[in-house]
Amino acid sequence: MTGEAPCKLCYVIKPLCDSHVVPNFAAKIIKKDSPTGYFRMAGEPNVPKQSFPSFKMLCKDCEDKFGRLEHTFRNVIYVPYLERPNLPTEEQKRALFVKYGSWFRDYALSLAWRTAICHLDFKDLDTEKPYVADVVRKAASQWRSYLKGASIHPGKSQSRIWLIDLSMAEAIKDCGAAQHNWKLSSGFFAYLLRGCDFTVVYTTSESEIGVFTKLPGAIFWTTIIPSRIENESGFDIREKGTIDLLKHSFDNKLLEFLNSRVEEGMKLLDSGMSSVQREKMNERIKKAIGATPEKFEQAIDIRLKDLQLSLDDVTQVHEESPSVE
């Protein structure tokens, strides 16, 4: 923490923390299974990373408040989903019906709020899309009032989550490109399982606006316009309820959006990475394969779900799986 400024949440002038939009436990997950221990951001492909971008956003009290929500989500939903058995017994299946309280909605809104504030205050949304920025600012103000405890309801926005693992790959293929004559991009499943991302989403007509935040294996979407998602894919996050960690579906509109994010990220990586950095990256991967063969096997499992790539392709692109920012 350095310097004092108004906290974006409570507005009190205090020293501000280096706050992350995507939680840093996601970076630890990526590094744990990476052959090199690094990952690369699509916007900075020549700089190997070990943590996500941070922003002077929150005071320590507000950072700790969000941290408690993050801790609960990680331990109650995220880790049990990622570590569930491939063939659960009936007793294990019952344990994967998880009850949740208002903390789940609060966590989803905290991600949406941080993503919105990042694009409003630290990026150029006002200049690029003034109407979208105005709509997002009004929604973020409602979310802020709710998250800091000044109002009892967060507004009309709806938050939804999709959980993803390798076992869902074939179902996603069947639901998506095969039915609609568009091809999944190279790196699609690596992005779903390993990539992190956050952005304000809007259609060309600006008639649909929402906020998207992605962790490895988890997608959060919070609506602004319209206020409701009309399909039944994913899982609605309500004030309280039960989530079945074994049942999730995808719709083609979401898959097409995700595919476009992969294409954008891979183009940035391919065009922006220097030949020197690419050579260094490949050399690190070759060394890491001998030292940590189990991590390399995990990398192959993910990449083979994409395109059945050759061994050389797999070694080259694993560290490049884009975290679009």
pLDDT digits (tens, 9 = 90+) for 186-241: 778 778 887 888 999 999 999 999 999 999 889 999 999 998 888 778 899 999 99
Distance between CA atoms of residues 320 and 285, nearest Å? 11
Better-predicted residue by pLDDT, 53 or 285 = 53
- 3-class SS at 66? helix
Which tops the pLDDT comparison, 83 or 41? Answer: 83
pLDDT tens sequence across 263-301: 887 776 666 656 665 666 556 555 555 555 555 455 544
- Write down the pLDDT at residue 278: 60
- Report the pLDDT value the prediction gives residue 309, as an integer from 0 to 100: 29
Does the pLDDT of residue 254 top 80, yes or no? yes
Residue 313 has a pLDDT of 31
Give 179's contacts (C-beta < 8 A, 6+ positions apart): 252
Q: What digits encode the pLDDT tens for the residues 115-164? A: 999 999 988 888 889 999 999 999 999 999 999 999 998 999 999 999 88
Q: What is the mean pLDDT of residues 85-103?
A: 85
The share of the chain scoring above pLDDT 70, in percent, equals 69
In this predicted model, which residue has the larger pLDDT, 252 or 155? 155
Which amino acid would we find at residue 310? S
Q: Determine the average pLDDT of the residues in 239-265.
A: 84
pLDDT of res. 316: 32
Give residue 57's pLDDT.
Answer: 94
User: Which residues, at least 6 apart from 267, have a Cβ–Cβ distance to it below 8 Å?
Assistant: none
Average pLDDT, the chain: 78
- What pLDDT band is residue 325 in, cutting at 50, 70 and 90? very low
- What pLDDT does residue 77 have? 93
Residue 166: C-alpha distances to residues 194, 211, 214, 216, 300 (Å): 11, 25, 16, 12, 12
- Identify the pLDDT of residue 314: 31
The mean pLDDT value for 103-122 works out to 95
Does pLDDT of 170 surpass 80? Answer: no
224, 225, 226, 230: CA torsion to nearest 10 = -60
What average pLDDT score do residues 45-50 get? 60
* Residue 205: per-residue pLDDT: 92
Give the Cα separation of 98 and 70 in Å (integer).
Answer: 16
Whether pLDDT at 258 is above 80: yes
What are the residue ranges of helices labelled H in 14-147? 24-33, 60-73, 79-82, 90-95, 102-121, 125-128, 130-147
Q: What is the mean pLDDT of residues 2-30?
A: 87
Residue with the bigger pLDDT between 250 and 103: it is 103
Is the pLDDT at 37 greater than 70, yes or no? no
Give Cβ neighbours of residue 7 (< 8 Å, ≥ 6 apart). Answer: 13, 14, 16, 57, 58, 59, 62
* Cα diameter, the chain: 56
Of 150, 137, 117, the residue nearest 6 (C-alpha): 117
In three-state secondary structure terms, 14 is: strand
In 3D space, the residue among 43, 121, 18 whose CA is nearest the CA of residue 325 turns out to be: 43
d(CA 122, CA 48): 22
CA distance 135 to 145: 16
pLDDT of 122? 84
59-76 mean pLDDT: 95
Q: How far apart are CA 311 and CA 314, in angstroms?
A: 5
The reported pLDDT for the residue numbered 10 is: 96
**Residue 267: predicted pLDDT:** 74
pLDDT recorded at residue 303: 44
